[in-house]
Amino acid sequence: MSYFQYRDGVLHAEGVALPDIAAEVGAPTYVYSASAIEDNYHAYADAFAGRDVAIHFALKANGALAVVSLLAGLGAGADIVSLGELRRALKVGMTPDKIVFSGVGKTRDELTAAVSAGIAQINIESAPELDALDQVARKLGKRQPIAIRVNPDVDAHTHEKISTGKRGDKFGVPYDEIASLYRRAANLQGVEPVGLAVHIGSQLTDLAPYRAAYGRLAELVRALRASGLVIKTLDLGGGIGVQYNDETPPSLTDYATIVQETLGDLGCHLAIEPGRSIVASAGILLSQVIYRKAGGEADILILDSGMNDLMRPSLYGAYHPILPVNEAMRDATLTPVDVVGPVCETGDIFARGRLLPPIAADELVAIGVAGAYGASMSSTYNARPLAAEILVRGGRFDIIRHRQTIEALFADERVPDWLKPPKRKIA
């Protein structure tokens, strides 16, 4: 079910008309549906009901405190990749025993904070990281539960920039090196190896790579156990893909079936780390057209939002639906339009030759499926303030992040005294 629909010719987020948000908050603004987030989370919970499976929301997809708080209230844990995300999870009251720390480049300061907080698990991605964590934990007088992340050398058939499970990707430990590293970890005083982790990429719409990766994981578990090592937990990585354009995501029921068929007989506690599929469809980027200008092969719509607000199209060539906030007439003629932002980069393009109804300057548009990796990847490039963020429930909306002021952009900057121009003497 979509929570962004036209009512009486105007696009709404749940029960709130988007022009009402624009009138009060302005644009560009991210708008999230609380009900959509809840429904997406419950879809996972229902698919794995009755099984020993924990759901850890990947904060990198959307770390807004209100969003994380909403999910924590539903029972979700957190998958984090930085100290900042750890602080965000703890800030909203998420208990440390529901937090898992992933990522290839955890610093000693981050490891110290994570161990001190008593988080459930740290996913180890290299031998040097294992040694660093062991030293940190021993210094703190603790023994930290860990999983070792496996690189299963499985092609997820997704975009090369979000592939994480093939040989040569920077993530995880090669499959044939896991046994020796796990055995070494078992002999260290500062860590307690409890399981394995795997994550083969994002935006998977085909379940075959999951079946392959989980099958290899099961083989590894049996081999490690046969050598006398203990495996109690398996972290299975992100969830299923979402529909941006013409993709057909698999059902969560089918995904859960593959998990059961490949790993269900191992008696392990399982964890999954969905991010995109929880929040992507729950958010839009509300934008206003600054100008419409004649182009070469197509007119150009210049929006007030740019690649600094939503960089996925520029970074990945990603598709996002674009809708006029005021519904077009049924017989409106669709013409190809280039939809671009104001950033001083040729690559600041949301869509080329997109077939759209007539949209004029000052009109509002909604860039859809923008709740994941939108605000969380945004920047202040071109000295552009960060967009506001709104959370909608029913007929009300609340500002969960105010639009950044221009003054805030440089509030922490300082000009050294020796750069300040000297005062001129007056003759």
Whole-angstrom distance, CA of residue 289 vs CA of residue 133: 50
* Residues annotated as part of the active site: 344
3-class DSSP string for 112-169: HHHHHHCCCEEEECCHHHHHHHHHHHHHHCCCEEEEEEEECCCCCCCCHHHECCCCCC
Q: Which long-range contacts (CB under 8 A, 24 or more apart) does 75-83 make?
A: 75/45, 76/41, 77/120, 77/271, 79/273, 79/275, 82/110, 83/107, 83/109, 83/110, 83/113, 83/114
Q: Angle at CA 171, nearest 5°, toward 169 and 174?
A: 80
Whole-angstrom distance, CA of residue 102 vs CA of residue 128: 15
- Do residues 123 and 191 lie in contact, with contact meaning Cβ atoms separated by under 8 Å? no
Instruction: List beta partners, residue 150.
Output: 173, 198
The amino acid at 343: V
Nearest to 263 by CA among 225, 227, 228, 213: 213
- Do residues 201 and 165 lie in contact, with contact meaning Cβ atoms separated by under 8 Å? yes
For 320: left if phi > 0, alpha if psi spans -120 to 50, otherwise beta; the answer is: beta
- Do residues 305 and 341 lie in contact, with contact meaning Cβ atoms separated by under 8 Å? yes
